[in-house]
Structure formats: structure tokens, C-alpha cells
Amino acid sequence: MNSEHISNRIRRLRFEKGEMTQQQLADLVGVTRQTIIAIEQGKYAPSLPLAFQIARAFGVPLESVFQYEPENPASTHNSLL
């Protein structure tokens, strides 16, 4: 999955949530620590269910964790019309 334009605040949220470790978050959402590392670094874009699970683990809405930044906002806007 292309994760070029999806940024996230997982690292910041982990520290705000009592310095939660990557392993603790991984155990909470049922993935490996390597997957959390890949998501944090923006190398892997999680599926919607996993993204929701991560957001739920922090007790925040999805858009507070993941942000989509289109390369060309104008073309995205046109394609939606």
C-alpha cells in the first residue's frame, strides 16, 4: 500500500499516553512491533480496521492519528466532483 501521503502522530501520542512503548501498542492492536515501527516511520499505511484500532487505543478520533496529504490537492478536489 502506498503510504507516501499519509502522515501520523503515533509517536507523539504514545508519549502523551504515559510513554507507551511500541510493544505495548502492538499488543493492544494485535500486530508485531515491527509493524508499529513501519507505520510510525510512514513506510506502511495500515488498513482501515487497524487504523481505527490504533486510534481507539489512544482514545482519540482517527483523524487525530492519521492525516492524508494529497500530492496535488486540486486534482483530488476535481476527481471528487
Partner 1 sequence: MNRLEKKAWANLGGMILCVIIAGPGIWWMASNNIKGPVVLIPFLISGLIAGSITYLKSIKHWAKLDEREKNIAQRAGRLSSGVFILFLYCASFTVFLVVGAKGPVPAYLLPAMFLSGLFLMVFVYSAAILVQFARERDDE
Q: Using CB under 8 A, list all residues that contact partner 1.
A: 1, 30-32, 34-35, 37-38, 41, 43-44, 46-47, 50
| Type of residue found at 49 | P
Which residues share a beta bridge with 8?
Answer: 66
Grid look-up 466532483 returns 81
As measured in angstroms, the least distance from the Cβ of 25 to partner 1 is 13
Grid coordinates representing 8 are 501520523
Nearer to partner 1, 14 or 46 (CB): 46
Nearer to partner 1, 38 or 60 (CB): 38
Q: Per this entry, what is the length of the chain?
A: 81
